[in-house]
C-alpha cells in the first residue's frame, strides 16, 4: 500500500488541520465556544476573575473568553496570545491586548517581563494539541503571581474506545486518531490534569467536567460536524471508519439520533502558593 500523505504530513495545530485562513474556521471555533463558554466563565469567576485581575489567555482563538474577561468580567487586563491573532486583533483595545506568539517556542519561556505577573492564566483546548504539554504547563505556572490561578481546559473522550461500535463512535475514534497522527493531539492525558497541577506545586487543585448534549440543533453538534468535515481525509486515512459509516455517523449527529455522549471539557485549576 502506498504512503498516504494525510497520515504522514504532520505539523502543529493550525498548520496541517484547522488552518485559521480557511473559510469558516473562526465560526467553527465559535461553535465550540458557544458550547463551553458558560462552564468556563463560571469557573473563571469562581477562581477570582474580576476587577483588578491581570489575565493571560493562552491560545485565545477567536477571543470569546478574552473578550468576556475584558468587557464583562471587568478585569484590569487581558493579554490574549495566539500563534495567529487574526480573529483577536479587531477586538484589541481597552483592557484587551493581543500577542502573536508560539507558546511552545523557547522564547516564550522564562526571562520574560510577564513572569510572575498574572492572577489568572487560562488555556482551553490548547495543551491537548501540544505534545510537550507538561513543559508548557510548567512554563505557564511561572507566569502566575503568588495566589494566582492556572486554569487548564481540554477535551476528554468518554465513549469512543468502548462498545457499541456505532457509526458515531467509530467516527469519533477515527477523528481522535487522525488528530493524533496529523497534529499530535492527545486527549487521553486530560483526566490527569489535576495530578499534573499538583505535581507542578499548585495548591487548592480542583477539576470538573462539562458534557453538552448532542441534540440536533446544539452548537456542539454543529461543531463536531464541521470538525469531521475538515478532518475527513485524515479520518478516512486511519482506516477506522469507511465513507459509508462516516456518512451514517454524520446523519445520526445531524438528526440528533446518535444517542451518545459528546466528548467533554475537563477544566482543572490550581493556585500558586
Ligand atoms: C481549538 S482552538 C481553541 C481556542 C480557544 N482557546 C477556545 O477555547 O475557544 C486552539 C487555539 O490555540 C492556538 N494554538 C495552538 N497551538 C498554539 C501554539 N503553539 N502557540 C500559540 N497558539 C496556539 C490555535 O491557533 C487556536 O487558536
* pLDDT value of position 116: 81
Each domain of the chain, given as residue ranges in start order, spans: 5-271
Cell digits for 208? 470538573
Task: Report which secondary-structure segment, H or E, holds 56.
Answer: strand 54-58
**CATH number corresponding to 5-271:** 3.40.50.150
pLDDT digits (tens, 9 = 90+) for 47-82: 999 999 999 999 999 999 999 999 999 999 999 999
Using CA positions, which residue lies closest to atom 27 of ligand 1?
61
28, 83, 98, best to mutate for ligand 1 pocket (most atoms within 8 Å of CB):
83
61, 67, 80, best to mutate for ligand 1 pocket (most atoms within 8 Å of CB):
61
CA 220 to chain centre: 13
Cell digits for 1? 500500500
- Does the Cβ of 12 fall within 6 Å of ligand 1? yes
pLDDT band at 4 (very low <50, low <70, confident <90, very high): very low
pLDDT digits (tens, 9 = 90+) for 101-158: 999 988 775 446 777 899 999 999 999 999 899 999 999 999 999 999 999 999 999 9
Cis peptide before 164 (omega within 30 of 0): yes
* Calpha distance 201→43 (Å, rounded): 20
What is this structure's pTM? 0.94
| Among 193, 153, 176, CA closest to 241 | 176
Alpha helical stretches, state H, the chain: 5-8, 25-46, 64-71, 133-142, 167-182, 193-199, 219-237, 243-255
Amino acid at each position: 500500500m502506498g504512503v498516504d500523505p494525510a497520515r504522514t504530513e504532520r505539523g502543529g495545530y493550525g498548520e496541517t488541520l484547522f488552518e485559521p485562513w480557511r473559510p469558516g474556521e473562526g465560526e467553527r471555533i465559535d461553535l465550540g465556544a458557544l458550547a463551553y463558554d458558560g462552564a468556563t466563565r463560571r469557573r473563571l469567576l469562581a477562581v477570582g476573575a474580576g476587577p483588578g485581575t491581570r489575565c493571560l489567555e493562552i491560545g485565545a482563538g477567536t477571543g470569546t473568553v478574552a473578550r468576556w474577561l475584558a468587557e464583562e468580567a471587568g478585569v484590569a487586563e487581558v493579554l490574549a496570545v495566539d500563534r495567529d491573532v487574526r480573529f483577536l486583533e479587531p477586538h484589541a483595545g481597552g483592557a484587551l491586548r493581543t500577542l502573536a506568539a508560539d507558546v511552545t517556542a523557547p522564547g516564550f519561556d522564562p526571562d520574560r517581563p510577564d513572569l510572575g505577573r498574572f492572577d489568572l492564566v487560562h488555556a482551553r483546548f490548547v495543551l491537548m494539541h501540544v505534545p510537550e504539554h507538561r513543559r508548557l504547563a510548567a512554563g505557564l505556572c511561572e507566569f502566575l503571581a503568588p495566589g494566582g490561578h492556572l486554569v487548564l481546559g481540554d477535551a476528554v473522550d468518554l465513549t469512543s474506545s468502548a462498545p457499541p461500535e456505532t457509526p458515531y463512535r467509530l467516527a469519533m475514534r477515527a477523528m481522535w486518531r487522525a488528530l493524533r497522527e496529523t497534529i499530535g493531539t492527545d486527549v487521553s492525558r486530560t483526566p490527569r490534569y489535576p495530578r499534573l497541577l499538583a505535581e507542578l506545586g499548585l495548591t487548592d487543585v480542583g477539576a470538573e467536567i462539562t458534557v453538552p448534549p448532542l441534540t440536533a440543533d446544539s452548537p456542539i453538534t454543529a461543531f463536531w460536524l464541521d470538525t469531521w468535515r475538515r478532518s475527513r481525509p485524515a479520518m478516512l486515512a486511519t482506516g477506522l471508519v469507511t465513507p459509508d459509516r462516516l456518512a451514517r455517523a454524520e446523519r445520526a449527529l445531524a438528526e440528533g439520533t446518535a444517542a451518545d455522549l459528546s466528548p467533554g471539557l475537563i477544566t482543572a485549576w490550581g493556585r500558586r502558593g
